[in-house]
Structure 1
Amino acid sequence: MNDRDGNNILIVWYDGGCPLCLREIALMRRLDRARRIRFVDLTDPSQPCPLDRQLMLDRFHTRKGQVSYEGAAAFAAMWRAIPALRPLGELARLPPVLWALEMTYRHFLRVRPTIQRWLT
């Protein structure tokens, strides 16, 4: 998918059944004033899903053109698409930073169900 200038749009797949995810995506939508991101709710069965739906619900995924990202790298790609967050996304390109973000994300995935229960 391309925008009117021919630049690739970042596709972000998210869990629309997760209250925490919905809050994050709402914030990203507000920050994405240039509409560089297309958000796809994986809980909507009418939405296309390039991989196993459960796999994508279990771990954050994005794609820009032919390049796919998952986990912390997917968050960094989303940040780079939003001017206010771009410096953070660029910092995450550094291998030690991305590694630390990925370890943090993996820990978050273990506690995510508990956080979700608190938010409902």
Structure 2
Amino acid sequence: MRLMARRDQGGNVANETLEVWFDGGCPLCTREIALMRRLDRGRAIRFIDVAGPDSQCPIDRRALLERFHARENGVMLSGAAAFAAMWRAIPVLRPLGLLARNRVVLKLLEALYLQFLKVRPQLQHLFRAREA
């Protein structure tokens, strides 16, 4: 498992772990994760393809495929909160992730995410058609 170092409130180095589950069968998802991997130069994130035969699912596989999930320091997150955790682990996106710690901002991001989920099947179909 990859570890990322950070300083705790006392100034000591603490290790955080971040795992991100994604749908490797979704062309939209694989493109997004490819971008996140490129941005994750410190290799702070462990990306796990839920569509893979050897994926270890900490919760129901269907739930992992329906919404974006991440586990940050042992805490399972989904939706906008999971995206925010991933952003915090990537230096260039960290300001967005920190902003999402604000309840109002996170609530707005979650509302936007729920709207995205409504059009996700159409977007997946469009991306699959483009790849064919």
Structure 2 gap segments, 5+ residues each = 6-13
Q: Cα distance, 1:96 vs. partner?
A: 0.9
Runs ≥4 residues deviating over 6 A: none
Q: Write out aligned runs for 1:14-93 (5 A).
A: 14-93=22-101
Q: 5+ residue gaps in structure 1?
A: none
CA distance in 2: counterparts of 1:4 and 1:79, whole angstroms: 13
Count of matched residue positions in the alignment of Structure 1 and Structure 2: 120
Equivalent residue letter for 1:112: R
* Cα 1:19/1:2, change in 2 over 3 Å: closer
CA offsets, 1:23-62, max 9 Å, x none? Answer: 1000000000000000000001211100000111000000
Aligned with 1:95 (options 103, 109, 116)? 103
- Secondary structure in 2 matching 1:99: helix
The whole-number CA distance in structure 2 between the counterparts of 1:24 and 1:81 is 15
Moved more, 40-49 or 6-15: 6-15
How far apart are the structure 1 equivalents of 2:51 and 2:101? Answer: 30
Q: CA deviation at 1:79?
A: 0.1
- Higher-RCO chain (CA-CA 8 Å, sequence separation at least 6): 1
Map Cα deviations across residues 84-112 of structure 1 (whole Å, 9 max, x no partner): 00000001111111011000000111100
| 3-state secondary structure, aligned to 1:44 | coil
Q: Give the TM-score, by structure 1 length.
A: 0.94
Which whole-Å CA distance do the structure 2 matches of 1:7 and 1:28 have between them?
Answer: 20
Task: Kindly indicate which of the two structures has a greater share of residues assigned to strand.
Answer: 2
Over residues 6-30 of structure 1, what are the superposed CA-to-partner deviations in whole Å (9 max), with x where a residue is unaligned? 6222100000011110110000000
Distance 2:70 2:47 in 1: 9
